[in-house]
Structure 1
Amino acid sequence: MLKASNRNLPPHDAIDERKFVVALARGLDMLRAFRPGEVLLGNRDFAERTGLPKATVNRLAYTLTTLGYLRFDEAAGKYALDTGVLSLGFALLAGADTLELARPHMRELAREIGAAVSLGCRDGMDMIYLETIRSETALTLGLAPGSRLSMLTSSMGRAYLAVQEPATRAALLEELSDAAGADGPALVKTAEQAVEDFARDGCCYSFRDWHDDVNAIAAPFRDVRNGRWLVLSSSGPASSMGEGYFREVIGPKLRALAGRLA
């Protein structure tokens, strides 16, 4: 039976346990435990965020430190990400032709609509930002590359779910619901409504769902270079950018950009 953190696993029926290396999955869960803005984590932090026993955390931390993916800060008694992780991320971004192609168009769109424009993809049970461009003409929101978003409450995650095959989406929603606990069924219902939004509008929305003062919209497209789904999104303060602006102004422009990138 698989013991890695469920948050980062694909749907259980999509995993061939004969080929799945649990130890590797656990090590990657340790690296994913860091959140944007965090520099140091201790063994207790790793254990709480991954659900792994402390003894396992100790062994994995030692291994990742030996390989150069973690660095132990003796003064703090905690671990920081080391250059091995940076090299992996750089290799991904350096080879991302679509990101290079998208960046100037995202910058132009952000300036035109006065809202942040971001590009992301799925990472385990979350969505992760690959790039975000903030408007130069207005105060806008926008998370940094590497930031994670809930697949159920973010427009980006809902757009990703909307383009999955029905059976794949159903299995993923079940996993997400289990991970969300008591709130799972209600969140899944909202995500299923987003699939209907996409069928009608070609976009998915998150109006004050991810954050009380954030409205957002997203449009997915297939990356022709490697066949994966990427998602463009735009977000701004709900207090100054209402739902109508996202539906009527940003939506058509975001869909058009997604179409060009595809």
Structure 2
Amino acid sequence: MSRSISPPIKALTILECFTAKQPRLTLSEIQRRARMPKTTVFRFLKALTDNNYLKYEPYRKQYSLGPRVLLLGFTVLQNMEAREIARPYLESLSREFNRSTSFLIRDKTEMVYVERIRVPALRDFNISIGSRISVHNTAAGRSVLAYMEEDKLKDIVGQLALDSGISRSIGKNGSKLLQLLTRVRKQGYAINDQESVRGVRAIAVPVFSAADSDYAISLVVPPEEVAVEELRTRYAPILTELGRELSEALGHTD
């Protein structure tokens, strides 16, 4: 008598259907690869999508890996399409300023590091792929929130407000945060001047994609080496242009 497959194994089997060569799959394609009944596959796809392990693209009727898969450490993550496309842009930016650069994606109220180009320095920041930072008080997070649709932004502000500490910092109904995001959108980039971590000054720009994922490019500098004004006048123009180029490479059209 054959033994039944446990739910966790079924979920992992579905996730393992995705590869670097085929990062997007339809329901039928997943069913064939997983060799499970269609109703079973659909049930697991819904659960994985609801929990951000998968993303569904309605216009393509395809699924792809979501940001939370980063926590699982699958080898397939090393070949995520957006990550591969972003890497040469990060390398170019890193060479331009001789600074470490990062590529992040939003997962609910956090930003997840998807890729990082590290430049050896006297002081290095303890950041690795899969690390998470808050979305409301970081340059990367604010650069993404500033361009978010109103309804989606309201949902995130509502989630943030559930934390009493965060609620005080973003203001009633997120009023302080929303004012800040208006300025970020107007200038096209976000700067965090030691607000979340002392000794960390960062600048970030949003990156858009055809899949409508919330990406950002971030660059961190020591405050004693780079002033805020230099970030605005020297770093920001190059980051914003690179963000536009990477967005185009990821299939985004205005």
Question: Into which bin does the TM-score normalised by the smaller protein fall?
Answer: 0.5 to 0.7
Shift of 1:138: 7.1
Question: Aligned residue for 2:72?
Answer: 85
Residues 203, 218 of structure 2: 8 Å contact kept:
yes
Contact 1:153 1:209 (C-alpha < 8 Å) held by counterparts: yes
Structure 1 segments unaligned to the other structure (5+ residues): 1-18, 32-83
Map residues 58-207 of structure 1 onto 2, 5 A cutoff.
85-87=72-74, 90-94=75-79, 96-136=80-120, 139=123, 141=125, 143-179=127-163, 181-187=164-170, 188-207=174-193
Counterparts of 1:260 and 1:138, CA distance in 2: 31
Deviation at 1:134, TM superposition (A): 2.2
Give the Cα–Cα distance (whole angstroms) in 1 for the partners of residues 197 and 43 of structure 2.
Answer: 36
Distance in 1, Cα, partners of 2:199 & 2:121: 19
Identical positions, percent: 22
Residues 1:221 and 2:204 are matched in the alignment? no
Matched with 2:35 is: none
Question: Normalization by structure 1: what TM-score?
Answer: 0.61
Alignment-mate amino acid for residue 208 of structure 2 = R
RMSD, aligned CA = 2.8
Q: Structure 2: any 5+ residue segments left out of the alignment?
A: 1-41, 54-70, 248-254
Match for 2:219: what amino acid? S
Provide Cα deviations, 1:152-199, integer angstroms capped at 9, x if missing partner: 1111111111111112212211211212x1441323445323312222
Q: Which residue of structure 2 aligns with residue 244 of structure 1?
A: 229
Letter in 1 for 2:73: L
Distance in 2 of aligned mates of 1:195 and 1:99: 26
How many residues were matched structurally?
A: 182
**Cα contact 1:156–1:204 (8 A) shared by 2:** yes
TM-score by length of 2: 0.63
Give the equivalent residue in structure 2 for 1:62.
Answer: none
What does residue 67 of structure 2 align with? Answer: none
Give the CA deviation at 1:203: 0.5
